[in-house]
Structure 1
């Protein structure tokens, strides 16, 4: 009723718009939000694939120079760029036009994803252990990091060794190490009472009869027998045998000095490589070098 600008005509337009659900602000907002969620999930999946690839291969994530002008800004960003190049045109636009707050490539995001993947692997190790008895192998590095390894017999009666976790410790006293080990075992519902063996080195904080780490665990579980680490025992035996033979000890001591002297300078390493190449050429010219091993020597020098 009335002209186009009449009150009745405006009321009819508003009524038609109200009946059209697709034009309502709530529907428009929900539709836009759902699309953004879909794009964010796609970007996050691309990041997860890159993290899984590098973690599975044991490669470094970050590069020396990660600026925009860098030709090689680290393995993670290079993998992400490779994923962009292989994606379709629409997916490439989604990855390249990511907002700054939804790129999912920051260092904190990488660490969070690595932590999630690590927890999933540790949970799989826990399921593999099941209710079996287990042993722990522990080593403490110079940077006060403790490495925990589980040794157990799986459901197929095979002996398995699984690296469980690296734990940073404030100090390397026996009590601190025990509390951290118990904390890690409790995280995965591994009872200390099921421990049947301990493997450490012969340091006093580990193997001390009264206050060593193995003695503290024996108080909670008398069946957790302690064994000196076989690899460390072999190393001590070889060192002791070498020191007992003067010529052998002198040879390895001199060899250590030579290696340290050469590795400390790139110029010395280059001169040694050039001298070795000249020596090989002379041996070939004199016929004193078999031709079937020349290729192996060249590979070793490259």
Structure 2
């Protein structure tokens, strides 16, 4: 081959080097440094609305650009002037300092002088400002020790509100047929839980979907999920024969033809037809698109 082709010396070190193969491994690194040096990573704009699309960068450095954006963490427009919106008699707006607050149900310091008393007390105070009748009898204005500051009392109130909400949903359902939408996941404490949504047609002929609860399950087998669903329905005076539809993701314990939740419910209620959850179908579609189009990948990343 050397008789017919003249070897190029581009990318090789000086003639003093006796190992050309080493230069071949060094060349790509030198080329990579040139690409990175063309982009000042520190000056990259984090705001999605105004930053340069990743697809417009050289393909050899796109991964580095993505990695840098990930390391920058979520974009928080702290210098932005947020517009004001009128709520009641006051003009309110978002404050960048809220990025640093704790969105906890109970505050670390729930005293009157605290700037963040927790979600429950802050919302209660906010509602009291809007409704003077309520504001005159809550928190520090309450009689004797009826301030509702005890954690156990706060949980009782939230539980009562939850029951009243479900009661309102069931009144809207009015004993008619419904479909169930079920998904499962783990919470921050690594405990398995199941979410349940009812889908039905209300008295006005509109299709309604209502989230009705989170049920903790010890195991996520199809049999355990079925028993948890039926138990929840029984507590709220709903029966399995009223089920007219099922919606799950594509997991085997959900849609398995032999031992899936879909099959167990369908065997007892033949009218409960199953459809793959549209939200999960959309997710699978987006995953497929992201693999084919870098712009879609960048948008959702």
Q: What is the TM-score normalised by the length of structure 2?
A: 0.56
Is 1:120 the counterpart of 2:164? The answer is yes
Map 1:287-298 onto structure 2 (within 5 A): none
Q: CA RMSD in A?
A: 3.3
Cα distance in 2 between the residues matched to 1:125 and 1:76 = 23
- 1:47 is matched with which residue? none
Cα distance in 2 between the residues matched to 1:218 and 1:97 = 55
- Partner of 1:156, secondary structure, is coil
Q: Going by fraction, where is helix more abundant, 1 or 2?
A: 1
Cα distance in 2 between the residues matched to 1:224 and 1:185 = 15
Out of 147, 153, 171, the position equivalent to 2:195 is: 147
- 1:53 is matched with which residue? none
Give the number of equivalent residue pairs: 193
Is 1:238 the counterpart of 2:282? The answer is no
- 1:216 is matched with which residue? 264
Distance 1:131-1:103 versus aligned 2 partners, 3 A rule: closer
Distance 1:254-1:154 versus aligned 2 partners, 3 A rule: closer
- 1:285 is matched with which residue? none
Distance 1:96-1:176 versus aligned 2 partners, 3 A rule: same
Map 1:36-185 onto structure 2 (within 5 A): 61-66=105-110, 70-78=114-122, 83=128, 95=141, 98-99=144-145, 102-143=146-187, 144-185=192-233
Distance 1:202-1:234 versus aligned 2 partners, 3 A rule: same
Distance 1:240-1:64 versus aligned 2 partners, 3 A rule: same
Alpha-carbon displacement from aligned partner over 1:140-159 (angstroms, at most 9, x marks no partner) = 12332211111111222221
Point out the structure with max Rg over C-alpha.
1
Cα distance in 1 between the residues matched to 2:206 and 2:287 = 33
Cα distance in 1 between the residues matched to 2:139 and 2:216 = 42
Cα distance in 2 between the residues matched to 1:198 and 1:96 = 48
Cα distance in 2 between the residues matched to 1:255 and 1:161 = 28
Cα distance in 2 between the residues matched to 1:148 and 1:133 = 16
Map 1:254-293 onto structure 2 (within 5 A): none
- Partner of 2:186, secondary structure, is coil
Map 1:188-207 onto structure 2 (within 5 A): 188-207=236-255
CA contact (8 A) 2:173 2:200 kept: yes
Q: What is the TM-score normalised by the length of structure 1?
A: 0.55
